[in-house]
Amino acid sequence: QLQLVESGGGLVQPGGSLRLSCAVSGQTLEHYAMGWFHQAPGKEREGVSSISRTGETTNYADSVKGRFTISRDNAKNTEYLQMNSLKPEDTGIYFCAATFTGIQEYTSLARISYGSWGQGTQVTVSS
């Protein structure tokens, strides 16, 4: 049983930064690719970023490239999303997700790829 808990969301002005964390418990993280998803108000949940088991491979949605950075610390069982240059359209709920995989460098931005989800943390970008 895998448990994921997001934290770090809040209210930030356009151009500001936030760092989201996803603490994982229940199993070792080393066999799981991880991802971050964003659900804007009235929109479907969509992939923002993903990171492979080793952390050597990352994947980003075009909308966040150059602004967001995903990382992981397997020793701490934690995934991070550093969000810089935030825009109002980044507003919404951010979910972390995990998928067990035997492919070392696997990443995915697709919802159906993930079987474990956190509860989400709210990010609001507004002046």
Q: Is 9 helix (H, G, I), strand (E, B) or coil?
A: coil
Residues with Cβ within 8 Å of residue 90, at least 6 apart in sequence? 38, 64, 83, 123, 125
Pairing assessment for the beta strands 10-12 and 121-125 based on DSSP bridges: parallel
User: What was the pLDDT predicted at 46?
Assistant: 98
Q: What tens digit of pLDDT does each residue of 13-39 get?
A: 999 999 999 999 998 889 999 999 999
Per-residue pLDDT at 95 = 98
The string of pLDDT tens digits covering residues 54-98 is 999 999 999 999 999 999 998 999 999 999 999 999 999 999 999
Q: Check residue 119 and give its pLDDT.
A: 97
Contact 21/120 with Cβ under 8 angstroms?
A: no
Confidence of residue 1 (pLDDT cuts 50, 70, 90): confident
Residue listed under structure tokens 């507004």: 126
Cβ atoms of residues 36 and 21 within 8 Å: no
Residues 6+ apart with CB under 8 A from 62: none
Q: Is the pLDDT of residue 5 over 90?
A: yes
